[in-house]
Chain A
């Protein structure tokens, strides 16, 4: 059966154990040549979509697959082409005559595109009278899709992947990231039409788009009205939306200085089988700059009362002078930004005794504080406050006051789109109990203390509120 073969042996040929004879015409002695294999057909591949830059284990179902070690020298080949590219395959295994397995590894640079999956049982056609032979096969093919590696872009620059540069941002600066995630229309137009999983998947499911932002962040911070005095003042902090194909976030201060903000992204698609599959996560890292060496000098803390003729006043005072070193931008230029103070009242309890009793609890709690009168409380790095509670001796015989304040030091980088972010927080109180002493005809302090403010800088959230306590001078009713 051994015959002369063409010098240009096709790689597809499976001529095993040929012995070349060196005399006379080029002759090969072959043990077994596959001449009449069964026809290979392919009915399905699962999954039918492969993410670029990653290996996807696939299972191919069909017929006529030839197990290894076929005595006739036959075998089944698998190939996947995308355009002119042969997609890399590994671990190709014929499991049975109806099932093959392989790992498909499209290049990381592959775009969204269709692919053709082919199986082939090549065989040799022997031509007795000529010094050449030809081959033939009985292939069958099926379509599949290649999905691109996610790419994160910021200001038009790619910031994910091996050659990405680390972008720079200030805390409070708006970060808008986009991706190359295929559109639903593009997915549906693929050879194997694909869809995204539902935006709100069932428990354990994957949403179509998934971001992870590792450093402290926020999706938005809105104060209404943006400044001034309003009883309906409110401030809302929105969490960063992590399930959209794009991302808008703002970094919050974290730690004591410049730090790194990793962001990862992946997208998922729905296949008939085996269901939802997700791309590999890609990562981008920001260098985040923030004011450093933030501290506060709290001084002039006092608690006094004055028995001004016919008026009794309990009053407290506190002054806070903050220090901070503004960060520099990438070029080393100082980004001063702006500083301001925002003051909330978390406890607002006032009780007066006598002919005109008044008990106010203010409707505020530590978790639902109110804005103290106006936004912002003050600008710059220095602030002072002196709560005062005055009552007339003819109407009140005493007063209890407990007011807890949260005074935030805020910074805004003053770039094109930015928000105020918290740098520090001073918690302080105005607590006092004043009573009329009928024997002396004077008021005396029963108890009370200076504000005793404490300053904290770590792990702060944006100050939020849904009402303002506007202190009209005369309280005939509670706030």
Chain B
């Protein structure tokens, strides 16, 4: 409950992306094979996006191998105090192509990202992760606005 409250406060503090909000047509689930990780270890986040609509939807996905889920997801990490971590990436993130892929009703698309490459999570403690799946304009009701569908928060504990 505490972490949920902290997360809610965080959203209030930082606000949501300045994009139009549409009813989610997809379910975004995230998980990690290492809910408890040692400091400095690689932390992987698996992202599963399920089409819960009646029609085929499009998702964007970085062209190339899996493991670049951040290309189509907003990724947020909060520390135990509810403070959002800054991105550790100080270089541009370039996806010359994010291919549109079709997901049939009831079907899912899986990808992953390496969270420890994007954020400094070396300090021991509990972290809350949320991923927001970007739906391209063609999937939004207006046909033009990007929407982000959030996952449920995921807690990861980093130990010494």
Contacts and interface: CB of A to CB of B under 8 A. Distances in A.
B63 A373 contact: yes
Contact of B84 (A309, A352, A373, A472): A309
Contact of B87 (A300, A319, A394): A394
Contacts of A386: 60, 97-98, 100, 136
Interface stretch (A36-44, A86-94, A132-140, A376-384): A376-384
Interface stretch (A23-31, A209-217, A238-246, A395-403): A395-403
A113 B65 CA distance: 65
Interface in B90-125: 90-100, 102, 117
A384 B136 contact: yes
Contacts of A389: 92-95
B19 to A, nearest CB: 6
Interface in B117-160: 117, 136-138, 143-144, 146
Interface in B37-95: 58, 60, 62-65, 68, 70-71, 74, 76, 84, 86-87, 89-95
Interface residues of A, number: 51
Contacts of A469: 96
B77 to A, nearest CB: 11
Contacts of A384: 58, 60, 99-100, 136, 138
B33 interface: no
A476 B138 CA distance: 32
Contacts of B138: 299-300, 317, 319, 384
A152 to B, nearest CB: 45
A475 B91 contact: yes
Given A372-B63, A384-B138, A395 B94 contact: no
A396 B96 contact: no
Contact of A385 (B17, B91, B98): B98
Contacts of B98: 385-388
B5 interface: no
Q: Dominant SS at the A interface?
A: strand
B63 to A, nearest CB: 4
A309 B12 CA distance: 12
B65 A403 contact: no
A391 B91 CA distance: 7
A306 B19 contact: yes
Interface stretch (A96-104, A283-291, A342-350, A419-427): A342-350
Contact of B92 (A299, A306, A475): A475
A229 interface: yes
Contacts of A396: 92
A21 interface: no
Contacts of B87: 310-311, 392, 394
27 contacts: A300-B138, A302-B144, A304-B146, A306-B19, A307-B17, A307-B18, A309-B17, A309-B76, A310-B86, A348-B96, A350-B94, A352-B92, A383-B100, A385-B98, A386-B98, A388-B60, A388-B93, A389-B93, A390-B94, A392-B87, A396-B92, A471-B97, A473-B70, A473-B71, A473-B94, A474-B91, A475-B91
Interface of B: 14-15, 17-19, 58, 60, 62-65, 68, 70-71, 74, 76, 84, 86-87, 89-100, 102, 117, 136-138, 143-144, 146
8 nearest CB pairs, A to B: A384-B100, A395-B90, A373-B63, A390-B93, A386-B98, A471-B96, A476-B91, A473-B68
